[in-house]
Amino acid sequence: MTAAIHPSELLHLRAAGVSLVVDLGGGTLPRILHWGADIGDLDGSALESARLAWDVVPHGFPVDGQVEVAVLPQESAGFLGTPGLVGSRAGQDFSTLFAVRSWDVETAPDGTQRLTVHAADDAARLALVLVLELTAQGLVRQQAVLTNEADDAFGVDGLLLTLPVPAVATELLDFTGRWARERSPQRTAFTHGTRLRENRRGRTGYDAAFVLVAGTAGFANRTGEVWGVHTAWSGNHRSLAERSHYHPGLLGGGELLGSGEVRLGRGESYTSPWVYGSWGVGLDALAGRFHSWMRARPQHPRSPRPVTLNTWEAVYFQHDLGRLTALADAAAEVGAERFVLDDGWFGGRRDDSRALGDWYVSAEVWPDGLHPLVQHVTGLGLQFGLWVEPEMVNPDSDLARAHPDWMLRVPSRLPREARHQQVLDLAVPEAYAYILDRLDALLTEYPIGYLKWDHNRDLVDAGHGGAPGVHGQTLAVYRLLDELRSRHPGVEIESCSSGGARVDLEILQRTDRVWASDCIDAYERQQIQRWTNLLIPLELVGAHIGSGTAHSTGRRHDLSFRAATALFGHLGVEWDLQEADETQRADLAAWIALYKDVRGLLHSGTAVHADVVDPALAVHGVVAQDRGDALFAVTMTDRSTSTALPRVTLPGLDPDALYNVRPQAPGDRVDHAPAWWTSDGVRLPGRLLSGVGIEAPGQLPERIALVRATRV
């Protein structure tokens, strides 16, 4: 990790195999000349030569000479793509030319190299602070703060921060989705034009771009150079990939602002979301930088991730002390460590049509409060967790009846309902204070170790005081979470949003887990969890073992497929265990015991995904940081068209080390065992295992075999 500044104002930041060369010459906003593979320790003249070698002088339009594209691209530089800043004072000052007043580079104690640039456009009377970081893990992050320095208001319509990608990146990958099918990948060609992914849901969204990746032709899990951006924002946002005849390519992101949503008075500032960039060879390398950066954060959960019993698919709204204590008993018997009481415990909430907002324990269902259940659960040695949906209100609630003006709306009408609910306007100070007070009171009265924080609708017509309100709402939610965490520092919070519709790095700065999807069908989860893991490390991804028949799809799977799928995450159980027979409970206990045994590995190691040519077969796993231990899942998702399966590689092992490779119980029952599938397994070098591969165990579709590799 080094930062070198050269007299010509070329800055070279290096960390973990990544180089970032930033041109600060000429007094204009920083331009990134190279983001990608480490180019070595170049001295000043070598770097100056590199700049000359990289100089682009387009032959022709749009302007005479070079178009210098800053991280916040400006039309004044001759850039005619999507502008970095869109805004005006009622039409005036629509185009900016920022001049750099000062900049400095510092290295934070965690190794992050941070460039801070102070710039201003005196004619437009705007000031800009740009922060560009290269973290110790080689992740790039950018944020901008724009300040109005004049009396007349400046309306911000959009602020976009970008990173350049070279012309060799010819393919794009991003994500879409729907309820119970989040983060579905889509590949397109990266051609001239703009691929713009806009999200107007008022929450991160099932169908968010998530990570927008550009890569060399055919890039895959382990091959091809890839550059990816993530716009870390839980409200409306956009991510784009843009290429034109005079610029090889940009990836960018920012908040999506409504008309009139941000108006800056004199001295007021707008702060953009952080936009992250990760480069690597293969998607695993790109993901690895996100994971290792997240793991290095001080607030990252470091205690073993407790096995969770969630009551939702076990009892839904049928809250009954006897039934729930019996469920807790069964959960404790199989090894659960946390018991989460889901929706249905408060006010008149007997179904999903009413009472959101009435955050008082239902006297009808819980005459003695939650105390008898909490005492029972904690008496069994389990932590108690509680479901809440603080940002929502049902029109059929005491809260809505008392404060009909506390909802996001346009003045003349209420938004259309979704799941019978409206959104509480947290930018109304009294509404915010009420919710903070209710949550604080619950966390004070009960020994609650965990909140499952839900958010079950998109924001539609979400106005505050007649103007768009999503920006203010998003900030208010962040404030609320921050305030609660500072009052109750021991409480962990899960970000849930009708499943996985709020999964982003900004919500995860103040939460400890995401609920990846309401779909716990293990077949669907193969995809949902695989792609969630492109950004989020496994220990933060909630993954539950459901009942034999998946509630969301009706598919039936045996326990081993369900458990081996949920194992690669933060494991939980969401199943009415009183329906399970003794054999099933014993099998479940064995899987939970395995999870406890390997969670240290899974939650600190490197996630790897093999590139397998047969679409019916998949291999993924986790390799310890010292590469001494690894666990792999060999998954048959479908019936192969070949009777002889291809050899499968076990990626990420130390090529020079010898490994003992063997089946891992209880995931060792396969349909057609290869010769090496014995309890002793085989001894083979990492180079062979990761590079050439071995015969895959033969399995019926929708089965998983677990393979353990330990260094001899």
Contact residues: ligand DGJ, CB under 6 A: 312, 342-343, 352, 387, 454, 456, 496, 498-499, 515, 518
Up-side HSE of residue 621: CA atoms within 13 Å toward CB? 27
Beta-strand ranges (E) seen in 245-364 are 247-256, 262-264, 269-271, 274-281, 308-310, 338-341
Q: How far is CA 266 from CA 78, 89, 153, in A?
A: 29, 12, 7
Choosing from 343, 454, 576, 629, the catalytic residue is 454
The type of residue at 177 is: G
H or E element in which residue 691 lies: helix 686-691
Q: In whole angstroms, what is the distance from residue 539 CA to residue 302 CA?
A: 9
The residue (of 233 and 312) whose beta carbon lies closer to ligand DGJ is 312
454 labelled catalytic: yes
Choosing from 518, 521, 576, 668, the catalytic residue is 518
H or E element in which residue 192 lies: none
Instruction: Report the nearest approach of ligand DGJ to the CB of residue 707 (Å).
Output: 32
The residue (of 308 and 664) whose beta carbon lies closer to ligand DGJ is 308
The residue (of 207 and 255) whose beta carbon lies closer to ligand DGJ is 207
The encoded tokens of residue 427 equal 């930018």
The residue (of 162 and 394) whose beta carbon lies closer to ligand DGJ is 394
The encoded tokens of residue 145 equal 């703060």
Q: Which residue is nearest to ligand DGJ (CB)?
A: 343
Instruction: Report the nearest approach of ligand DGJ to the CB of residue 25 (Å).
Output: 51
Instruction: Report the nearest approach of ligand DGJ to the CB of residue 456 (Å).
Output: 5
First to last CA, the chain: 33
The residue (of 9 and 396) whose beta carbon lies closer to ligand DGJ is 396
DSSP type of residue 518: S
Instruction: Report the nearest approach of ligand DGJ to the CB of residue 342 (Å).
Output: 5
Which value, in Å, is the radius of gyration of the alpha carbons in the chain? 26
**Three-state DSSP class for residue 702:** coil
H or E element in which residue 115 lies: strand 113-121
| Token pair 């008075």 in the structure block, residue | 265
Q: Please say whether the dihedral angle defined by the alpha carbons of residues 329, 330, 331 and 335, taken in this order, is positive or negative.
A: positive
Instruction: Report the nearest approach of ligand DGJ to the CB of residue 320 (Å).
Output: 17
The residue (of 159 and 520) whose beta carbon lies closer to ligand DGJ is 520
Q: In whole angstroms, what is the distance from residue 496 CA to residue 514 CA?
A: 6
Instruction: Report the nearest approach of ligand DGJ to the CB of residue 303 (Å).
Output: 23
Where b means 16+ CB within 10 Å and e means fewer, 650-684 reads bbbbbeebebebbbbebbbebeebeebbeeebeeb
Q: How far is CA 680 from CA 180, 659, 690, 692, 707, in A?
A: 40, 12, 20, 21, 12
The residue (of 277 and 390) whose beta carbon lies closer to ligand DGJ is 390
Phi and psi of 113, rounded to 5°? -95, 125
Instruction: Report the nearest approach of ligand DGJ to the CB of residue 500 (Å).
Output: 8
The residue (of 452 and 471) whose beta carbon lies closer to ligand DGJ is 452
Instruction: Report the nearest approach of ligand DGJ to the CB of residue 496 (Å).
Output: 5
343 labelled catalytic: no
Note the Cα 262 to chain centre separation in Å. Answer: 26
Question: Would you please indicate which residues are annotated as catalytic (active-site) residues?
Answer: 454, 518
